[in-house]
Structure 1
Amino acid sequence: MFKKNTVAAGVAAFATIALATGCAVAEGNKSDEVDITAMSAEELAEYIIFESDSFRLEQEAQEGGTARDRMVQDDLQKACSFEGEPDGETAGEVVAMARAEYEAPEGDIELGDWEKGQELAFSGYGYRIGHNNDDHGTREPGGNCVNCHVFDPEGPTQGTIGPSLEGYGATRGDSQEMREYVHQVISNPHQFFPCAQMPRFQGLLDEEQISHIMAYMLDPDSPVNN
C-alpha cells in the first residue's frame, strides 16, 4: 500500500476514477502499448508515475539526485506505508530508526534569531520541481511550518493539521533540556511521534535555520510567547 500523503497515493485515487470511468490516461505516450484496464489502481499509479513518461522524473532536484530518486522510499518511509496508526512493533522500529538517523549538535544548543525564524516558519519556498525549479542559490528554503501549526493567532492564516504552538515557550520554558527536545522534534519527529505527517527537517534545513525556528518557538520576545 502507498505511503499516506504521497504523490503516489493521490495518483492511485485518480487511477481508481480513471479505471471506473474508462478515462484515457497519458494519451499519446506509452499507455498506448499496455492495457491499463487490467491493472489495479495501485498498479496503474505505479505505471503512470514511473513508466508512462507522464512525469519528468529525470529533472535534477535541489538536494541532489533526480525527481525519480525522490520517489524511492527509505526504510522509515517503507515502515510507515500503511493506513491508520502504527502498531506497537512498527512504532518501536520507526522510533529506533529515527533515533539512529538523528544528528545532535555538539555542545549546548543555542537559539537563533526569532525574527528570522518567523520568516522561515511562514516561508514555503524550496525544493519544488517543475518548469521553473526553486533556486536555493538566490533564496533559502523555508520550513512552511504554518501550513500545519498555529504560532501566532494574530498573524496570517495558519494550519491546524498539527498541534497549536501558541505560547509554546511561555508554557514550557527555555531550558537546555527543552531546547534539545525541540531540536529533536524539528530534526526528526519520528523519534517521539512514529509515522507522523511532519517532515524530517534535518538535511532540508541547516542547523542555523533550525536554531532560528527554535527561537521563534522559545524566545520570550517572540510573538509566539506574547
Structure 2
Amino acid sequence: MFKKNAVAAGMVAFASLSLAAGFAVADGSKDADVDITAMSAEELAEYLIFETDSFRDQEMQEGGGWRDRMTQDDIQKACSMEGSPDGETAGRVVALARASYERPEGGVQLGDWRKGAVLADSGFGYRQGHNTDDHGQREPGGNCYNCHVFDSRVSVQGTVGPSLENYGATRGTSEAILNYVHEIISNPHQYFPCTEMPRFNSDRHQLLTDEQISHIMAYLLDPESPVNNQ
C-alpha cells in the first residue's frame, strides 16, 4: 500500500495549483450551491474525485467498485502524510492492524515452495483497464519480485524492500518464525506502520488466500527452496 492514494495525491497537487492560481475548475456537477473556491486543496481533490462523475465505476476483482478502491480505510488515512509517522500515529496503525489480523485455523503451515516461487514472480491479479486481469483464467500472484531479491541468480528483481536471500536458512522454521512471517505477509503494518508493502490478507481485501501465503512462505523458509541454497 502506498502512503498516499496515487490518484488522490495527484488531484491534491492539481487542486493546490488551481486554487493558488485562481483557475476556474469545471466540476461537471449541476449543483450551483457548490463553491469550490471555499474548499481546501484536500477537500477539492475529494470533491473532484468522488462527486463529479469523473470516473466510470466498474466492478473490481476483490468486490466493490472503483469508488471502494479509492476510498481510504483508517490505516490509509492515518498513513497519508509526508515522511515517517510520529509515535502516536505509528501506535494507532499497529493497533488497527493487529486488531484485524486472524491466524489460520489449525495454525500456520508451510505449503509447496515450487508454487510459492511462481506466486512470488507473478504480478497477475487486480489490474483494471485495457487488459483486465481475469481470475477465472489465472490465479492472482503476489508480485513479490517487484520489491525483493529472493534469489540473486534471478536477473530481474526489486530493491524497494530488503533482500530475502537465505531468509529461512538464517531463521529456521520454528512456530514463532512461521507466525511472524504469516503476520508480515498478511498485514505488515503490525510491525512496520505505514510501510509501502501491501496487505495481502486483511480486513481491507484478501489479495492472497492463506493457502497461497503458505506457498510463498515455503519459498522463503523451506530448506529445499532455492532461496535458502545460495
Do they superpose with TM above 0.5? yes
Q: Is the 8 A contact 1:98 1:190 kept in 2?
A: yes
3-state SS of 1:158 partner: coil
Deviations 1:88-137 (A, max 9, x none): 11111111111110010123422111111111111111112224421111
Supply the AA of the counterpart residue of 1:30. G
Aligned to 2:68: 69
Query: What is the rounded CA distance, in whole Å, between the counterparts of 2:220 and 2:210 in structure 1?
Result: 15
Query: What is the rounded CA distance, in whole Å, between the counterparts of 2:118 and 2:213 in structure 1?
Result: 12
Aligned to 1:156: 155
Q: Is the 8 A contact 2:222 2:228 kept in 1?
A: yes
Root-mean-square deviation over aligned CA pairs: 2.7
Q: Which moved more, 1:74-83 or 1:157-166?
A: 74-83
CA change 1:100–1:16 in 2 (3 A) is same
| Identity within the alignment, % | 72
Supply the AA of the counterpart residue of 2:225. S
Q: Is the 8 A contact 1:25 1:31 kept in 2?
A: no
Moved over 6 A (4+): 17-26, 31-39
> 1:178-189, aligned counterparts within 5 Å?
178-189=177-188
> 1:1-226, aligned counterparts within 5 Å?
3-4=3-4, 6-15=6-15, 30=28, 41-56=41-56, 58-202=57-201, 203-226=206-229
What is the TM-score when the length of structure 1 is the normalising length?
Answer: 0.85
Q: Is the 8 A contact 2:111 2:218 kept in 1?
A: yes
Q: Which moved more, 1:161-170 or 1:130-139?
A: 130-139
What is the TM-score when the length of structure 2 is the normalising length?
Answer: 0.84
In structure 1, list runs of 5 or more residues that go unmatched: none
In structure 2, list runs of 5 or more residues that go unmatched: none
CA change 1:189–1:159 in 2 (3 A) is same
- 1:31 is displaced (CA, Å) by 7.9
Deviations 1:17-37 (A, max 9, x none): 6778999988xx828999978
Q: Which moved more, 1:210-219 or 1:106-115?
A: 106-115
